[in-house]
Every structure is written in C-alpha cells, then in structure tokens.
Amino acid sequence: MSLDQVVEAVVGPVVDPLDPADAAVFRARLERHLPDLRGLLEDLYGARDDFDQSFAAIVETAAVAFAARPADLKALDAARSGEPGWFRSHRMMGGVCYVDRFAGTIDGVCQRISYFEELGLTYLHLMPLYRTPPGGGDGGYAVSSYREVAPHLGTMRDLEVLARDLRARGISLVLDLVFNHTADDHQWAVAAREGDEVYRDFYFMFPDREMPDRYEKTLREIFPDVRRGSFTEVDGDWVWTTFHSYQWDLDYSNPAVFRHMLGEMLFLANVGAEVLRLDAVPFIWKQEGTPSENLPEAHTIIRAFNALVRLAAPAMVFKSEAIVHPDDVLSYLGTGDGDGRECEISYNPLLMVELWEALATGYTALLRHSMDRRFTRNPDGTAWVNYVRGHDDIGWGFADEDADDLGIHGFYHRQYLNRFYTGEEPGSFASGLPFQFNPETLDMRISGTTASLCGLERALEAHDPSAVDAAVGRILLIHSIVLAMGGIPLIFLGDEIGTLNDYTYLDDPDHAADSRWVHRPVFDWARADQRHDAGSIPGRIHGGLQALTAIRTREPAFSAGSSTVVLDVGNPHVFAVVKSVGERRILILGSFVSTPTTIESDQIPWLNAASARDLVTGRAVDPKKDFVLGSYGFAWIALS
Ligand code: GLC
C-alpha cells in the first residue's frame, strides 16, 4: 500500500459519514497540507520502521478532532480563512490573569467580561487552569490532565461557555499547552512509574546516573534553587525534569508522544481556544552533547503541529514562549508561511527587558540599538506580543553582542540591573525580589509587580507625592511604548490599577519558596473600583491606559504589519520610533528621565509634514520649535 492509501484507510471512515460539505473541506485541506506535513514528520520519524503507521495514526487523530469540532468553531475556521492575519490588527489588545486570583472561578471570569471590554481587550490569556498535583503544580504548569479543569475553578463545560461568551464579545480565548512536560501524577507518568513500557517510553527514564551525567555536561540549570541538575530520582529511576522535580519532560523522539499531545492540543482547540501558548518551546527536543535547547527538531515539531492545526482547527494560532537569546526567540516565528509556518505570535522578551534596562539607567541606547536591529525581523504573517511584564520573573535576556556594540559589558550590566531592581543600588526606586540565584554563575532574575518595580511601593511608603508621580509616569511610559510598537500589547491584569507586590505569598507553604508569587496577587477589586476616580492612583493609570488603547484602535499604523523605524533624535534619554502604514505616519517619543528633556527641532524627522498633532494630548505641535518631554513624558505625534 502506498502512504496515500494508508492515509485514506484511516481518514475515509472518519470523514465519509460527515456532512458531504464538511468532508470536502477536510479533504481539500489534506490535499493542501499533507505533503508539507509528511516532509516534516519524515524529518523527525522517517528512519523508523513504523513510520507509515505512525504517520497514518497522526493524520487520523487530526481527522477525528475535525469531525468532533463544534459547528460554531468550524464557522470561525471558514471566516478566518478569509482573514488569515486577524491577530496582526491594531485592534488586538491582550490581557492575562489567573482565573482564581482574578475572579475565583471560570464562571466568575464570565461575570467580568465587561471589565475586559473597558480596557479594549480582544485577547484573554487565562493562566493554566487544568488539574494539577496538590499544591497547584508550578502555578498550573504541571498538568495532571489536559482535559480536566482544576475542580476549584469549574469544569470544561464552563470553559466552553466562557470561550463562546468571550468570542461573542470579540475576545479570543488564549490557553496554555504545556507540552514539554506533564505532572508526575498525569496518567501517562503514573503508568510509567508502574513499569508500563509503553509509557516509560514517553519520558526520559534511566536506571542509573550514567546517561544523566552525560547529558548534564552540556545542560543549563533552569531552577537551581529547586534542585541542582536536570534529573530527579524516582523509585530508583532517574527522570528528566528540566523545571520542578514533579514536571517530567516528554520524549518527542517517540512518535506516540507527538500523537498523544496532538490529541490534547486539538481537544483544547475544540473547547474554543483561539490561541495556544506553547510553553517552554526551546526544551522539547533533547540530544546528548548539546544544551538540549533550541535544537532544529524543536522547530520541526512545532511546524508539524501547526500543519495539523491547519487540517483540524485552522482558526487557531500558536504563541511561542521562548525566553532565550533574541535570535532564538525570533526563530520560533518560523518563516510565516507554508511548511515554515511555526508560531504565528511570540512573546517579545527583548523589548520587555530593555524597557526595564532603560528605566534603570535613564539611557535608551541599548533599547534603540536592539530594536533597530531586531524588532522588524519578524516574518510577514507573524506578530510580536509586547509586554512590560508577565507572570514570570524578569531575566536580563538582551544579546551580549548588542551590549558589546555599545561598550556595555553584559555580565556586569546584568549584575547592576539585579542590584537596581532589588533596591540595593544607590538611587534605585525599585522594590523587586531575587529569583533563582545561581551561586556558580551568579545569574539571577527579578520578581515584582510593574508598579513596585516602577517605584510606586517605595514612593507610597515614603509619602512622597513627587515620587508617586514619577512612578505613575514610568508605568504609563513603558506601556505607551508597548502599545505603540506594533503587534499585540499584553497587560498583566492588575498592572492597569497599579497593583503592588504582595508579600503574603511567604505565608503560603505552596508558594513561599517561589518569589514569582510576589507579583501574582489576588486581584484587588476594591482598588479596581477606584479606576474611574481620575485623582486616585488606580484612576490615573487605568485612565491613562484606556485613553491610549482608544487611540490605538483607530490607528492602523500600530498594527503588526506597519513599518517601524527607530530613530536617534540626539537625546540619549529618549526613545523615538516612526510607525507608518500607507500615508499615515506617527512619531512615537518617550523619555526615560524624571526631569524635562528637550529634543531639538532639527533632530526630529518631521518628514515634510504640513501639520503635526500629538494624539495623546490632542494638541498641535509646531515643527519649528524644539519639543520638550516632561518627566517620563511620551507623545504620539501624527504627521500629515
Ligand atoms: C514557562 C512558564 C513558567 C513555568 C515553566 C515550566 O516558562 O511561564 O511559569 O515555570 O514554563 O512549565
């Protein structure tokens, strides 16, 4: 039998009983994507004797998921086929929260949709909400079952209802696919532990230290505070655990792992996820003698998964979570098309860390240099997710080469930034905490909410109104850049009302050892209730952000497909960019110092504009005059 016949033998019985129009849709997609898919899977598994059967079983999994896909989601698939770049629009606006911390339950989130609408959200990432081991499993990133919601949050049915309600109000649901590892109490891990050979092959399990020692020669430690090395001893076996000891890494060199995870992925697509955040993508392929991060096979796996999503649930896209060297971050965006289609969107950790770097130093040279060099490199058909912070720590992931170009020593600069954000450096305004200090490399990352890292906590403690103004200014400044750069801005919900660090995590034995909980507080609705009081701190921040998002939704120059030119306007404290699409040009300016700073008129590229107006203040700008930015001031100047 030819491979096509093998495929037909599994697909026919699934799609033939469907409505003929549906069956025709699936067959048309097969015709279009099967050759690419086959090439990708051959690269991964082609050398195996059972390749044909594995390939057919993988396609069958996609066909079964297609057959089970609800009609409203199939309609969304059809609509999106006419609008493939939907996630690149300037109207996209993201928010992220923990279900329990934000609203108690999934049903509670449903009751808060109007809060999202007020902020103009079109994208809502709910942090992992699946069943986990007792204690919450790394904030949900240890998944015990991809098909069960954690009981205290609700049910899968509630999630389906929420997805539908959000969609009806123009908000896409974003869920995590934690596919590098499962929790150690996932049924696959339990079977492996009980000695079932099929499931032992799902993981990396070794009877002694020989292989772990060989692998560890070239591995980096991710959670050195938790456990040294990357393996954990379990009942006499050494199991690969990159992160926590209860998160068992899956072995994707086994096609059965690929197929099982595909089933989980398409299940979530059919629940209504429109974006899947692929967790920890760099780690999914391992090879002795390498760091086992960012290997070519990791890309092939995601590309193959993507081709399968095109078959079964094409309205959905992938978002990459790769917190690695900027070149590697970029690589997960693939080529944007064909068999190079990989993750359509990606976190942009570089912009994030360099905004914090510029706030600490008051200088924008590194931010300018890296953005000039790297921001526009994402392929057509993809978009950055721009954010000022997320649920994780801040690790200083700028490229050493970029720093070198400016005479900045990467290692010492990171040490300085760590001192600055833990408040040790003289002149620091920040209240951050250390995360995962590694005594051998001196590497460390930073925890803290946006407001506390921006100085609000200290300013309030000191009862210093001008320091409060500066902190609010910093919060709005960095958000103004994230909103203007192009791509999907993402707000960690709570930041819009200036939420401070929450030190009560130290009282919770499940959280006390993980300082990231300091910036994951329970959402303070009493604080949020002040958001319409323009004189309150929550009101100043929320109002400021709302005004900016409202402008943004009217300006295609802020879409992911617009052009971005980073400028040097002769003032080392200012970040300047021209965003444009067609005739529309908007000059973005932001100052990273607390004192007023001037940009000389002849340094500003007025681009022969007949008129210039700051969209933020609504005021006309005179191109013949120097432009002054106030303390942490910013402007979005439309040139026409
Ligand atoms: C990702 C998550 C992080 C988690 C890790 C392991 O990096 O963002 O919170 O600890 O993956 O799943």
The Cα–Cα gap between 593 and 360 comes to: 10
Ligand 1 centre distance from Cα of residue 138 (Å):
7
Q: Considering 36, 138, 237, 279, which one is annotated as catalytic?
A: 279
For the chain, how many structural domains are there in total? 2
510 is known as an active-site residue:
no
Measure the CA–CA gap between 185 and 144, rounded to whole angstroms: 6
Six token digits for residue 131 = 């069943």
Q: 321 catalytic, yes or no?
A: yes
Give residue 248 CA to ligand 1 midpoint distance, Å: 13
- Give the pLDDT of residue 338: 86
Give the gyration radius of the chain's Cα atoms: 25
pLDDT of amino acid 90: 97
Q: Is 331 helix (H, G, I), strand (E, B) or coil?
A: helix
Of the residues 511, 529, 555, the one at which a domain ends: 555
Bridge partners for 95 per DSSP: 124, 491
**DSSP string covering 157-226, please?**
HHHHHHHHHHHHTT-EEEEEE--SEEETTSHHHHHHHTT-HHHHTTB-EESSSHHHHHHHTTPPPS-TTT
CA distance 319 to 172: 13
Residues 375, 484, single domain; the answer is yes
Which pair of structure tokens corresponds to residue 234?
Answer: 């379990």
Question: Which of 127, 138, 249 gets mutated to test ligand 1 (max ligand atoms within 8 A of its CB)?
Answer: 138
Q: What is the distance between the alpha carbons of residues 599 and 603, in angstroms, rounded to a whole number?
A: 7
522 CA to middle of ligand 1, Å?
19
Please name the residue ranges forming H helices in 82-140: 99-103, 106-111, 113-118
Domain boundary among 500, 526, 555: 555
Judge whether 472 lies within some domain.
Answer: yes
Model pTM above 0.85: yes
Q: Are residues 467 and 503 in the same domain?
A: yes
Report the 10 Å Cβ neighbour count for 187: 11
Which residues on adjacent β-strands are paired with residue 111? none
How many angstroms is it from 605 CA to the middle of ligand 1?
42
Same domain, 417 and 389: yes
Residue matched to tokens 């929550």: 538
Give the closest residue to 113 by CA, choosing from 45, 152, 161: 161
Helix (H, G, I), strand (E, B) or coil at 243: coil
Q: What share of the chain is helix, strand, coil (3-state, %, to 5)?
A: 45, 15, 40
Residue 534 shares a structural domain with residue 601: no
Query: Which of 98, 177, 103 is CA-nearest to residue 136?
Result: 98
| Residue 602 covered by a domain | yes
pLDDT at 472: 98
Q: How far apart are the C-alpha atoms of 119 and 117, rounded to whole Å? A: 5
Task: Using the atom order of ligand 1, give the atom closest to the CA of residue 390.
Answer: 8
- Cα separation, 562 vs 585, in Å, equals 10
Mutate to test the pocket of ligand 1, among 176, 243, 323, 511 (most ligand atoms within 8 A of CB): 243
User: Mind listing the pLDDT tens digit for each residue in 466-480?
Assistant: 999 999 999 999 999
* Among candidate residues 184, 77, 488, 116, the one with its CA nearest the CA of residue 320: 488
Q: Residue 477 has what pLDDT?
A: 98
Is residue 137 within 8 Å of residue 183, measured between CB atoms? yes
According to DSSP, the β-strands at 584-591 and 634-639 are: antiparallel
Closest approach atom of ligand 1 to CA 243: 6
DSSP state of 270: H
Is position 493 within any domain? yes
Residue 381 belongs to domain with CATH number: 3.20.20.80
Ligand 1, pocket residues at CB < 6 Å: 138-139, 141, 178, 243, 279-280, 321, 392
E strand or H helix at 72, and its extent? helix 71-81
Give the distance (Å) from ligand 1 centre to CA of residue 391. Answer: 9
Let me know if residue 395 belongs to a domain.
Answer: yes
104 contacts: CB under 8 Å, gap ≥ 6: none
Atom of ligand 1 nearest to the CA of 323: 7
Q: What is the mean pLDDT of the chain?
A: 96
**pLDDT score for 147:** 98
Q: Are residues 550 and 578 in the same domain?
A: no
- Closest-CA residue, ligand 1 atom 8, reads 392
Largest CA distance in the chain: 79
| Protein residue closest via CA to atom 7 of ligand 1 | 280
pLDDT attached to residue 395: 96
Q: Whose CA is nearest to atom 4 of ligand 1?
A: 141
Three-point CA angle 191, 197, 202, nearest 5°: 70
User: Which residue minimizes the CA distance to atom 11 of ligand 1?
Assistant: 280
Backbone angles phi, psi at 56, to 5 degrees: -65, -40
**Does any domain span residue 44?**
no
Q: Which of 525, 555, 585 is the last residue of a domain?
A: 555
How far apart are the CA of 307 and the centre of ligand 1, in A? Answer: 25
CA distances from 519 to 40, 59, 433, 589 (A): 40, 42, 10, 29
Atom 12 of ligand 1, nearest CA residue: 141
CA 437, distance to chain mean position in Å, is 23
Q: Which of 96, 127, 141, 394 to mutate to test the pocket of ligand 1 (most atoms within 8 A of CB)?
A: 141
Residue 74 in contact with residue 276, Cβ under 8 Å?
no
Asked whether residue 575 is assigned to any structural domain, the reply reads yes
Claim to verify: residue 428 and residue 575 sit in the same structural domain: no
Q: In sequence order, what are the beta bridge partners of 123?
A: 94, 172
The catalytic residue among 77, 138, 321, 443 is: 321
**Are 121 and 91 contacting, i.e. CB atoms less than 8 angstroms apart?**
no
Atom of ligand 1 nearest to the CA of 141: 12
What's the domain range around 601?
A: 563-639
Asked if 273 and 163 count as a contact pair (C-beta separation under 8 A), the reply is yes
Within a domain: 511: yes
Q: Are residues 546 and 597 in the same domain?
A: no
Same domain, 491 and 576: no
Indicate if 548 and 403 belong to the same structural domain.
Answer: yes
Do residues 582 and 494 share a domain? no
Residue owning the nearest CA to atom 9 of ligand 1 = 392
pLDDT, residue 624, reads 86
Residue 50 lies in a domain: no
DSSP state of 297: H
**Ligand 1 centroid to residue 280 C-alpha, Å:** 6
**Residues 468 and 357 both lie in one domain:** yes
The answer on 484 and 592 residing in a single domain is no
> What residues of the chain score a pLDDT lower than 50?
none
- What is the distance in A from the centroid of ligand 1 to the CA of 150? 18
What CATH number should be reported for the domain holding residue 578?
2.60.40.1180
Based on the number of CB atoms within 10 Å of its own CB, is 201 exposed (0-12), middle (13-18) or buried (19 or more)? middle
